[in-house]
Chains A and B, each alone.
Chain A
């Protein structure tokens, strides 16, 4: 990656390859397990419910195994960086708030969570003055509220604050 090349590696490419292949192998195994429960034979009138998931999962397992072995035998000499620490920090700076945002939706509703999320981004990453932060983040939620709740009458998750304002 171009930006900040030469930074320290958080993970090597090899580690990432191994982790992904192993995870897919596990997923495949779980799917095989459930398909076996449903029956994966070719019955009198065509395949049983587990037939397709079983073979699909089998192919996932076999190809992941190949990918895993390839990753393991790859020489350490030409091992590239998967992600540098500086990059990872940036990615996590967005990913963690996003995960918190997703969790907040269930508690305070999507509109309030969105105000906090957009506001956090603008203030923390964009260093905007507070009035701009407030205007954009609140304005965004109001616009979506109008579009979804009022125009298209699609109820989105709402929390205690909307209940207080009598909006739900």
Chain B
């Protein structure tokens, strides 16, 4: 096994005292970045990039530099879940789906369990992805090449269909909310012709509505307003804050092994394609809800509903580094910045990187194993600390959360207008929730709308307007068919039930 030898060599490269210290520094910085919305992984890595410039010039320095930066990335992946569970505010886009069950768990006083489950599943997802990277990289890189515009559209369609379809809210309210998301996603320049759409001449609207601002407002501020109705207190203050909760949760987690495996598979697929960690988390949550025997109870505080999105997000985030290294295609904004870093340091990502820069590549892969272990240790020891935040009185913590949200909204585009939009989204979230307009489909539409439309129209350009391009080969055809099947599943299952009832009756 060549890979094992190379990997052992990689561990030798990565395991210097300096690199080990850098790993912990990176992870801790990453967790801070992950906790603060707006200060995203991409931001954090980009800011530290110039610092690594000097570092990369010493012998073996590029490995140290990438270890520092990639550990910030792992830390951010871990950290995004914390505020999702405690305050319904996703620190990072990929932890939106974690709020669906994580926040209700927190409110029930089970924040410690939810956090442990989130961190542990992140680790499992990452581990599976690193194993895939270690042993399957050449095959996987070829697989990613098969993805053209129609295939990408099919991936987004699949994400969408896996997630929607089983909504309990009124159909027309779901539709209105989802389409509002798509409309918001289309504000700004049109991806194919470059014309400005729905901006009405306002310079504030040029950049469009960022997903993060909508989410901070709809979920975070909206939730604070809802909480207020019932008095000036957070629920869930009774959370257990001792370390035993970690061990107790660990005892329960193995029962969700099927969900973990499924979510890891979804995550790796989405990371390699590359479709992104955020869609991966939504897709995985949707799939878990369909397949779980407790699917009906999803959204009310199921540990499984935390395991699924976190596993997939971390698996996708990790495996996204593979297309970056082998093809030079970044699978996420953070990967894009890391890619820029490699180029600045004089490394050329691409098929030859694995041949010419063995030390670097295998050092990085080894650091993925080590960095994630370091990350898990850091965040797990902090679980009691995080859970204790809920005990801080409401009138102190609520305004601080608002300040964090405002800073987060501002930093997305460096615009005060976005802080205003956050407040507007907050009121929208509050009213929508009370009138049972579902928020999740709207958020998913904002995430996917832009990308799905681009790939659809790219595909139409390529095929000169022929829709059958979505069935033109086995790959895209099976994904499209699967999406349609998932979308129509409620109708299909109703029909099956009807036929069965007729037979037995």
Residue numbers in B under 8 Å from A114 (CB-CB): 403, 406
Q: What residue of chain A has the Cβ atom nearest to residue B225's Cβ? A: A91
- A24-B180 contact, Cβ under 8 Å, with A52-B186, A95-B225: yes
Q: How far is the CB of B388 from chain A (nearest CB, A)?
A: 16
CB neighbors of A among B453-505 (8 A) = 453, 456-457, 459-461, 464-465
- CB contacts (< 8 Å) of B395 on chain A: these are 121-122, 125-126, 128
Q: Which residues of A contact B32 (CB under 8 A)?
A: 147
Tell me, rounded to whole Å, the shortest Cβ–Cβ distance linking A53 to chain B.
5
The answer to whether B43 has its CB under 8 Å from any CB of chain A is yes
Interface with A: B229-237, B299-307, B338-346, which one? B229-237
- A56 touching B186 by the CB < 8 A rule? yes
Whether, in the assembled complex, B39 has its beta carbon less than 8 Å from a beta carbon of chain A, the answer is yes
* Interface residues as binary, B253-280 with A (CB distance below 8 Å gives 1, 0 otherwise): 0000000000000000000000000000
Give me the interface of B with A, judged by CB distance under 8 Å: 32, 36, 39, 43-44, 47, 170, 172-173, 175-176, 179-180, 182-183, 186, 190, 192-193, 195, 197-198, 200, 221, 224-225, 228-232, 393-396, 398-400, 402-403, 406-407, 410-411, 414, 416, 419-420, 422-423, 426-427, 430-432, 434-435, 437, 453, 456-457, 459-461, 464-465
Chain B residues within 8 Å of A152, by CB: 39, 43-44, 47
Interface residue ranges of A1-49 to B (CB < 8 Å): 1-3, 13, 16-17, 20-21, 24, 27-28, 31, 34-35, 38, 42-49
Whether, in the assembled complex, A138 has its beta carbon less than 8 Å from a beta carbon of chain B, the answer is no
Residues of B within 8 A of A167 (CB): none
CB within 8 Å for A154 and B411 given contacts A34-B200, A101-B406, A117-B403: yes
* Secondary structure type dominating chain A contacts: helix
Partner of A154, one of B47, B398, B465: B47
Q: A31 contacts which chain B residues (CB < 8 A)?
A: 183, 198
Question: In the complex the two chains form, is A63's CB within 8 Å of B172's CB?
Answer: yes
Are A148 and B197 within 8 A (Cβ)? no
Contact status B457-A47, CB under 8 Å: yes
Is A134 interfacial (CB 8 A cutoff)?
no
Main secondary structure of the interface of B (DSSP, over half): helix
Residues of A near any B CB (own CB < 8 A): 1-3, 13, 16-17, 20-21, 24, 27-28, 31, 34-35, 38, 42-50, 52-53, 56-57, 59-60, 63-64, 66-67, 70, 82-83, 87, 90-91, 93-95, 98-99, 101-102, 105-106, 110, 114, 117-118, 120-122, 125-126, 128, 136, 140, 144, 147-148, 152-157
Expressed in whole angstroms, the minimum distance between the Cβ of A123 and any Cβ of chain B is 9
Given that A49-B190, A102-B406, A144-B407 are contacting pairs, would A56 and B182 also be in contact in the complex, using a CB cutoff of 8 Å? Answer: yes
Judging by beta carbons under 8 Å apart, are A49 and B197 in contact?
yes
Closest residue of A by beta carbon distance from B231 = A3
- Please measure, in the bound complex, the distance between the C-alpha atom of A63 and the C-alpha atom of B178, giving whole angstroms: 11
A136 and B403 CA atoms in complex are apart in Å by 13
Contacts of B460 in A (CB 8 A): 45-47
Q: Whose C-beta in chain B lies nearest to the C-beta of A1? A: B229
* Docked CA distance A126–B396 (Å): 8
Query: What are the residues of chain A within 8 A of B414 when measuring CB–CB?
Result: 155
Provide the bound-state CA to CA distance between A148 and B420, in Å.
Answer: 21
| Of B176, B225, B398, the contact of A64 (CB 8 Å cutoff) | B176
Report Cα–Cα, A117/B416, bound state, in Å.
16
Nearest-CB residue, chain B, relative to A153: B47
Which of A59, A60, A118 interacts with B399 by CB under 8 Å? A118
A95 touches B396 (CB 8 A): no
A20 vs B200: C-alpha distance when bound (angstroms): 22
Q: How far is the CA of A67 from the CA of B437 in the complex (A)?
A: 11
B192 touches A49 (CB 8 A): yes
User: How far apart sit A102 and B423, CA to CA, in the bound complex (Å)?
Assistant: 8
- Can you name the residue of chain B whose Cβ is closest to the Cβ of A120? B399
Q: List 19 A-B contacts (CB under 8 A).
A: A1-B229, A3-B229, A21-B176, A45-B465, A46-B457, A47-B456, A63-B179, A67-B176, A94-B398, A98-B423, A99-B423, A106-B416, A110-B406, A110-B410, A117-B402, A126-B232, A126-B393, A128-B395, A154-B47
